[in-house]
A and B are shown apart, each in its own frame.
Chain A
Amino acid sequence: MQNALSALVIHDIKNALALLEIELEQLNHHEGVPVEGQRAYRRCIELKVRLMGFLTLYKHDQSGLKPMIQEIDPLEFLEDLVEASQSVQMGKNHQGHPISVEVDLKKIKQKAAGFFDENLVELALESALNNAVRYAHREVRVWFEQEGNALTFKVFDDGTGFATEPVRRSSSSTGLGLALCEAVASAHGDGKISIESLPGEGTLFAMTLHRAG
C-alpha cells in the first residue's frame, strides 16, 4: 500500500513538474521576461531531468527497466538529441571557451534499422553529453556504429590531461550519470558501457545496446 502510494505521489509530482515546464516555457515566449523567469525555466528543466534520472535508476533497482523497443533511425535520433540537448546548449555558451558538439557523419555508415527505447537512451546519452561538455577542451563528437545486432553510441571529447577516468568517476554527478547509462545499456539485451582515455587525444565514452528478440 505504501509503495503504491509513493509511486502515485511521485508520478503526480513528475507530471506537475512537466506541466510547470510547459507553462514556464510558454511564459518565456513573452517580451521582456525578467531574468528570474528564465532562470526558473532552466531550473525546472534541470530538476525534471534529475528526477527522471533518479526514477529510472530507482525502477532499475526495484524491478528492472522494461524498455519499450521501437524501430528508430539512429542518425535522426542523434541529430535530434544534439539539437534539443540542454548540455549542448550549455557548452555553446561556455564562458571563455565555447564547446562545439557535432554528429560525426564521416564515422557513420548505417546498415540496419535501430531498435531501442528512445526515451531511456536519450536520458542516458544526455548525461554522457553533459559529462563530455563539462570536461571538453574545445569539441565533442558523437556517432554510432553497427555490428551484427549491436548498436554502439559513442561520445568523444577532447578533454585530456588529468581529467581521466578515475577522476571523472569520483565526481558524484558523474557517478549517478554512469550508473544510469549502465542501467539503460543493461536493459537493452545486456548491453555495456565503457570509458577509455586516449592519451593526447581525449576521452571516449561508448554505450553498446543489443537487440533482444
Chain B
Amino acid sequence: MNETSGMEALVRGRNAVENEYIDFGKLSALVIDDISSMRHAVRSQLQSLGINTVKLASTATEALVQVEANSFDIIVCDYNLNNVSSGQHFLEHLRTENLLSATSVFVMLTAETEYDFVASAVEFIPDDYLLKPCPEKKLRSRLTRLLDKRAFLMPVLKAINARQYDVAVRECNRLLEIAPDERRMLDVLRRKADSELAMQDYASALETFDRAASMRSDVPWIMMGQARAHYALGELEAAAKITKQLIEMNKNYVSAYELLSKISIDMDDEAGAYEYLCRSSAILPSAKRFRAVSQAAFLLGKLEEAKSNSLDAMRLSTGSMVERTGDYLSLAQVQVDLGDQKGAIETLEKTARKHGEVGLFGVAKNAILAQAYFDLGDHEKSQKLLERAKSLLANRKNSFVMTALGKSALKTGDMVLGLKMMTEAIQVSGKDEKRIARHVKKSMVDTGHDDKVLDVIDGGRKRILNLVEEANRLMRAAHFEEANLKVQEAFSIHGENLDALMTAAQLHLLWLKQGGLNDVLVERAKGYLMTLDRLLPNNQKVMNFYRFFNEIVSE
C-alpha cells in the first residue's frame, strides 16, 4: 500500500470532499465542555476544518453568556456538563427561551457510558449526536451535511429568525419546487409546518404534516406534528390516537406523554394527566416536569406526591438558570394543606428569604403565610399578613396569586375578599382557564365553600363574555360609541382579556373605516393591536387586523 498517498487522503480528506457551498473560514463555533483537554481537542479539530472563530465555554452558564452575545454557526456541546445542568437541559433551555438562532447548528457530544440515558425520544433533540471523542473526518462529514442542509434552507431560516413566518412559508413553497430529492423536501416541509404552527394556522400545518407523512411513515416529528395540529384544532380524539401510536413505537417519547397529559386535562381527566406527566418525568427528569407532576398531584389531592415532586423540582433548579420562585409557593401551599404549618413557614421565611417580597411572589408569600399562622392559632398575625398581601397586590392581576390570596381570605373568614379574588382569578385566567378553575374549585372546597363554587366560576366566566357579546351586537348595528362602552367595561375587569381585545380591535378598525380618520381612535386601535401581538404573536387574525389598519391609515 502506498502509505503517503493513503495517509494524505485519510488525514486531509478535506480536499476530496471540498464543498462548494461551505466556506468554513467564514463560520464561527462555540465549544462547551467541562473537561479542558476535550475542549481544546475539539477546538483544534474545528480549526483544522478551517474555522477561525472558535470560542470556548466550560459551563452552561458561561455558554449562555456567549450565546446571548453572539450568533454562532456551530455549537458543539458535551452532554455531561456538570451536576447542575446537562447539555440536554442547556439545549432545552435555549429552545424554550428562543435563544438559539434558527441558523445555528447544534451538535451534542456524548460518551458511551451516558449512552443509555440520552433519550433520542425527547422533543428538544440537537441537530446531531456524536459519540466522543469524534475523529475529525467524521466531524467534518457530519458538519458538512448539516451545513449543506442549512445552506439550502437559509432563506427560510432567516425569515424564521425574523419571526416573519408568512415569508418563511412562501420561501418554503419556492424551495419545494426546486428540492433535488425527498430528503430536502422533508426538511422544507418540516420548516413549513413549524412556521404554520407558529402563525396558529393549524389547518395548513396539518395539511403539511400529512403531506410529509405520505412520503415517510413512522417518522416521530411528523407524527408528533400531526398530533399537535389535531390538538390545536380541538380534535382531541385524533390527536390522542396518533400520539398513542407514537408511544407504541417509542416508549420513551417524552413529548408524546406531555401532549397526552394536555389532552387529558382538556378531557377533564386529571388522573390521566397525572399518570402521563409521571411517565415523562421518570424518563427525562427536569425541574419543569417535576413542577407539572406536582401541580397535577396537588389538584388530585395527592399531597405527599405533590410535595416530593415539588422538592425534586427545587433540587434540580436551585442555583441554576431554571430556578423559579413559584416552587417555594407551591411547596408551602402543599405543606399548609398537609398540616405542616411550621414547614411552610420555614420554606417561605428561611429557604426563600433571598427572594424577599418582590412582585407577585410577595403577595402569594404573605397570603400563604397568613394561612399557616391562622392554622397555628395566631389570628392577629394572620390578619396582618393578609392585609400586607392585599396591599402588595394593588391593581395587579394574576390568577395564581389571586387564588392564593382568595384561599387565605376564605380560610380566615373574609368571605367578601375571598369570593372577589376567586371570581377575578377566573376572569383574568385567559388560556389557562380550565386549570385555574380547578385550582379555584379546590381552594373553595378545601375551605368549606363547596356551595358557591359554581356561582364563582360561572360568574367569572360569564361577565366578560356577556359584555363582549353585547359589544359585538352593538358594533354590528354600527353603534360604535355604545359598543365601546361595553368593551371598556370588560377591560375594567381584565385589561388583557383576549375576546375583549379582539372585539375592541375590530370595533376600532370599523369605526375608523366608516367614521373617517381620528387621532384618538388611531392611537387606541394601535394600542389594542400591539397588546394582541404581544399576547398572540404571529396570529393570523391579528396580522390581518394589522394589514387592514395599515390600509386605512395610508388612505
Closest chain B residue, CB of each to CB of A35: B3
With a cutoff of 8 Å between Cβ atoms, the chain A residues found around residue B248 in the complex are: 213
Among B189-197, B216-224, B412-420, the stretch in contact with A: B216-224
Q: Out of A29, A76, A89, name the residue touching B9 (CB < 8 Å).
A: A89
Q: Out of B48, B118, B131, B249, name the residue touching A211 (CB < 8 Å).
A: B249
Q: Which of B260-306 contact A (CB under 8 A)?
A: none
With a cutoff of 8 Å between Cβ atoms, the chain A residues found around residue B142 in the complex are: 80
Please tell me if A25 contacts chain B, counting CB pairs below 8 Å. yes
- A11–B132 alpha-carbon span in the complex (Å): 13
Q: Out of A29, A92, A111, name the residue touching B11 (CB < 8 Å).
A: A29
0 or 1 for each of A81-94: is its CB under 8 Å from B? (1 = yes): 00110100110111
0 or 1 for each of A7-39: is its CB under 8 Å from B? (1 = yes): 000010011001101110110110000010011
0 or 1 for each of B1-38: is its CB under 8 Å from A? (1 = yes): 11111110111110001000000000000000000011
* Shortest Cβ gap from A124 to chain B (Å): 15
Q: Is the CB of A92 within 8 A of B9?
A: yes
* Shortest Cβ gap from A187 to chain B (Å): 13
* Shortest Cβ gap from A104 to chain B (Å): 16
Q: Which of A48-97 contact B (CB under 8 A)?
A: 66, 68-71, 73, 75-76, 80, 83-84, 86, 89-90, 92-95
Closest chain B residue, CB of each to CB of A48: B135
Query: For this complex, into which size category does the number of interface residues on chain A fall?
Result: 35 or more
Q: Is the CB of B1 within 8 A of A84?
A: no
With a cutoff of 8 Å between Cβ atoms, the chain A residues found around residue B113 in the complex are: 11
- A75–B216 alpha-carbon span in the complex (Å): 13
Closest chain B residue, CB of each to CB of A113: B219
Q: Is the CB of B183 within 8 A of A93?
A: no
Q: Which of A87-122 contact B (CB under 8 A)?
A: 89-90, 92-95, 110-113, 115, 119
Please tell me if B384 contacts chain A, counting CB pairs below 8 Å. no
Q: Is the CB of B133 within 8 A of A68?
A: no
Q: A38-B7, A69-B120 are in contact. Are A21 and B133 (CB under 8 A)?
A: yes
With a cutoff of 8 Å between Cβ atoms, the chain A residues found around residue B521 in the complex are: none
Please tell me if B116 contacts chain A, counting CB pairs below 8 Å. yes
Please tell me if B541 contacts chain A, counting CB pairs below 8 Å. no
With a cutoff of 8 Å between Cβ atoms, the chain A residues found around residue B2 in the complex are: 93, 95
Q: Number of B residues contacting the other chain (C-beta, 8 Å)?
A: 48
With a cutoff of 8 Å between Cβ atoms, the chain A residues found around residue B6 in the complex are: 89-90, 93
* Shortest Cβ gap from B258 to chain A (Å): 19
Q: Is the CB of B3 within 8 A of A26?
A: no
Q: A19-B37, A111-B216, A213-B248 are in contact. Are A76 and B145 (CB under 8 A)?
A: yes
Please tell me if B41 contacts chain A, counting CB pairs below 8 Å. yes
Q: Is the CB of A28 within 8 A of B11?
A: yes
Q: Out of A21, A80, A90, name the residue touching B135 (CB < 8 Å).
A: A21
Q: Is the CB of A38 within 8 A of B1?
A: no
Q: A19-B133, A28-B11, A93-B2 are in contact. Are A112 and B217 (CB under 8 A)?
A: yes
- A213–B245 alpha-carbon span in the complex (Å): 11
With a cutoff of 8 Å between Cβ atoms, the chain A residues found around residue B3 in the complex are: 35, 38-39
Please tell me if B44 contacts chain A, counting CB pairs below 8 Å. yes
Q: A19-B37, A68-B118, A113-B216 are in contact. Are A42 and B133 (CB under 8 A)?
A: no
Q: Is the CB of A95 within 8 A of B116?
A: no
Q: Is the CB of A42 within 8 A of B10?
A: yes
* Shortest Cβ gap from B23 to chain A (Å): 19
Please tell me if B129 contacts chain A, counting CB pairs below 8 Å. yes
Please tell me if A41 contacts chain B, counting CB pairs below 8 Å. yes
Please tell me if B388 contacts chain A, counting CB pairs below 8 Å. no
Q: Out of A23, A75, A76, A90, name the residue touching B41 (CB < 8 Å).
A: A23
With a cutoff of 8 Å between Cβ atoms, the chain A residues found around residue B7 in the complex are: 28, 38, 41-42
- A80–B5 alpha-carbon span in the complex (Å): 21
Q: Is the CB of A213 within 8 A of B218?
A: no
With a cutoff of 8 Å between Cβ atoms, the chain B residues found around residue A26 in the complex are: 41, 44-45, 48, 136
Q: Is the CB of A113 within 8 A of B4?
A: no
With a cutoff of 8 Å between Cβ atoms, the chain B residues found around residue A75 in the complex are: 183
- A22–B136 alpha-carbon span in the complex (Å): 7
With a cutoff of 8 Å between Cβ atoms, the chain B residues found around residue A69 in the complex are: 120, 250
* Shortest Cβ gap from A127 to chain B (Å): 17
Please tell me if B141 contacts chain A, counting CB pairs below 8 Å. yes
Closest chain B residue, CB of each to CB of A45: B135
With a cutoff of 8 Å between Cβ atoms, the chain B residues found around residue A38 in the complex are: 3-4, 7, 11
- A36–B314 alpha-carbon span in the complex (Å): 56
* Shortest Cβ gap from B291 to chain A (Å): 28
Q: Which residues of A contact B (CB under 8 A)?
A: 11, 14-15, 18-19, 21-23, 25-26, 28-29, 35, 38-39, 41-42, 45, 66, 68-71, 73, 75-76, 80, 83-84, 86, 89-90, 92-95, 110-113, 115, 119, 211, 213
* Shortest Cβ-Cβ A-B pairs, 7 listed: A70-B120, A38-B7, A18-B133, A93-B6, A28-B11, A113-B219, A112-B217
